Structure 1
Amino acid sequence: MLDHEKDHSSRWAAVVSIAAKIGCAGQTLHEWVKKAEVDSGMRAGVPSDVADRTKALERENRELRKANEILRKASAYFAMAEFYRRAR
């Protein structure tokens, strides 16, 4: 895509032309190009691999927080059960 940009009057014209040839929407191709520029360091932003890793770590963190909450509640439940058992 970037190689064909000089053959058109604007970047968008190049995107629309190439998108039609490969059978996708112009906006989709434009987003792919922007992502490729970020990944290659030509444009500022968070590279795909870093964004994917961050998303995975956030998901793992969320799951661990849920597991900790379940364990906290189970611990409190069993502590109360033991308290009432000893109180009899």
Structure 2
Amino acid sequence: MKKSNSYSPEVRERAVRMVLENLKDYPSEWAAIESIAPKIGCVPQTLHGWVRKHQTDNGQRPGQTTEERDRIKALERENRELRKANEILRLASAYFAQAELDRRNKP
């Protein structure tokens, strides 16, 4: 069972900003994340994901940005809808073609 997003975008941004601003005070990024996560009220893995997403969106890490992922999702959804529509049209065309043949063959 997946838990809903209980953290507002403002809390996420603040947490990521805290990690990035305090990196110099810790020996590693993970140490900073482990220290800051309890202050935000989340587990370190969650905060780590937010930091990675922020870094990817800002071009600091390779990967798809949030905007690109959203665009791909929308295009895939549109593609599915168009495939369904094409299948419906193909079946309707075959049905009406058969009905026309039956009509012509009747005396």
Category of TM-score, reference length = shorter chain:
over 0.9
1:53-72 correspondence runs (5 A): 53-72=71-90
1:1-40 correspondence runs (5 A): 1-40=19-58
Structure 1 gaps, min length 5 = none
**Greater helix content:** 1
Q: Does 1:49 align with 2:67?
A: yes
Q: Which aligned segments of 4 or more residues in structure 1 are displaced greater than 2 angstroms?
A: none
- CA deviations 1:34-74 (Å, max 9, x no partner) are 11001111111111101110111011111111110111011
CA distance in 1, matches of 2:93, 2:101: 12
Q: SS of the residue aligned with 2:48?
A: helix
- Name the counterpart of 2:13: none
- Report the TM-score when normalising by structure 1: 0.93
Q: Does 1:80 align with 2:60?
A: no
